[in-house]
């Protein structure tokens, strides 16, 4: 199973994905790590770990459509089975999403459908929720929407700052993405007739 991972910054989720795949127990390869910014810190880490990298700078393109077309070309060169968004901070056009329909996965730092968009930890604290977490889902043209593959939950504590909460959620993000990459590599994830995710072999 070939994966391409898209990042915009630090890339700690990408590192988890690469580490999971390089641990060697999975029939999988991370074919490339790509970013929309040349200064995404994760790119250097990926190179140091022997993963090909590419940058498709969104600022070089006049429109989202043109950027997405260039990004899609760069991805297709690797013929991945799955494209994993891991802290990729660009909204993708419907044309891009359709092109990778059923093969595009995102991680979002909230328990969707609560708190789509940005600043999810602030939103969670402002709302006073007692549980927060992350969601890994298939991407559809609607932002932070789409069939849910896995969710991880953390408690919210009374004195949490957004950073505290982000740290706690990030740990669960890493665990969940490692699990999901394993399921995908083993061909255990499918969509049923209702577009709900089925994972075989998980109770
Ligand atoms: C993660 O919390 C991810 O869910 C969100 O942005 C953060 C990226 O972190 N969209 P990293 O780049 O994977 O370290």
- Residue 25: predicted pLDDT: 85
Contact of 201 with 161, CB cutoff 8 Å: no
Longest dimension (CA), the chain: 48
Residue 91 CB contacts under 8 Å (≥ 6 apart), including other chains? 64, 143
| Ligand 1 atom index nearest CA of 88 | 10
Question: Rounded to the nearest whole angstrom, what is the distance from the C-alpha of residue 113 to the centroid of ligand 1?
Answer: 18
Cα separation of 26 and 23, whole Å? Answer: 8
Q: Does 81 qualify as catalytic in the annotation?
A: no
Cα separation of 135 and 177, whole Å? Answer: 9
- Residue 50: predicted pLDDT: 96
19 among the known binding-site residues? Answer: no
Structural domain range at position 30: 2-199
- 133 in contact with ligand 1, CB cutoff 6 A: no
Q: What is the ipTM of this complex?
A: 0.97
Instruction: For the chain, 203 residues long, give each residue's pLDDT as a single digit of tens.
Output: 999 999 999 999 999 999 999 997 899 999 999 999 999 999 999 999 999 999 999 999 999 999 999 999 999 999 999 999 999 999 999 999 999 999 999 999 999 999 999 999 999 999 999 999 999 999 999 999 999 999 999 999 999 999 999 999 999 999 999 999 999 999 999 999 999 999 998 76
The torsion angles phi and psi of 42, rounded to 5 degrees, stand at -65, -20
- Residue 203: predicted pLDDT: 62
| Ligand 1 atom index nearest CA of 7 | 12
- Which residue has 């004195």 as its token pair? 159
- The pTM assigned to this predicted structure is 0.96
DSSP secondary structure string for all residues of the chain: -EEEEEESS--HHHHHHHHHHHTS-SS-EEEEEEESSTT-HHHHHHHHTT--EEE--GGG-SSHHHHHHHHHHHHHTT--SEEEESS--SPPPHHHHHHTTTTEEEEESS-TTSS-SS-HHHHHHHHT-SEEEEEEEE--SSTT-S-EEEEEEEEPPTT--HHHHHHHHHHHHHHHHHHHHHHHHTT-EEE-TTS-EEETT--
Give me the CATH number covering residue 113. Answer: 3.40.50.170
Cα separation of 150 and 134, whole Å? Answer: 8
- 9 in contact with ligand 1, CB cutoff 6 A: yes
Number of domains in the chain: 1
- Residue 65: predicted pLDDT: 97
């Amino acid at each position: 199973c070939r994966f391409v991972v898209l990042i915009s910054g630090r890339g700690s989720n990408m590192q988890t994905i690469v580490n999971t795949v390089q641990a060697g127990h999975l029939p999988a390869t991370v074919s490339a790590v790509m970013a929309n910014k040349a200064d995404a810190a994760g790119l250097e880490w990926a190179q140091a770990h022997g993963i090909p990298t590419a940058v498709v700078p969104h600022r070089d393109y006049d429109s989202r459509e043109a950027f997405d077309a260039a990004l899609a070309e760069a991805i297709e060169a690797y013929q991945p089975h799955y494209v994993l968004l891991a802290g990729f901070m660009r909204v993708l056009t419907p044309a891009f999403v359709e092109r990778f329909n059923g093969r595009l996965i995102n991680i979002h730092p909230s328990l969707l459908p609560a708190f789509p968009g940005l600043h999810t930890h602030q939103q969670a604290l402002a709302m006073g929720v007692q549980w927060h977490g992350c969601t890994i889902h298939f991407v559809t043209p609607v932002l932070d929407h789409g069939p849910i593959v896995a969710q991880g939950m953390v408690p919210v504590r009374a004195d949490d700052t957004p950073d505290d909460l982000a740290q706690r959620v990030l740990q669960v993000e890493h665990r969940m993405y490692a699990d999901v990459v394993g399921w995908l590599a083993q061909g255990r994830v499918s969509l049923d007739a209702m577009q709900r995710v089925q994972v075989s072999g998980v109770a």
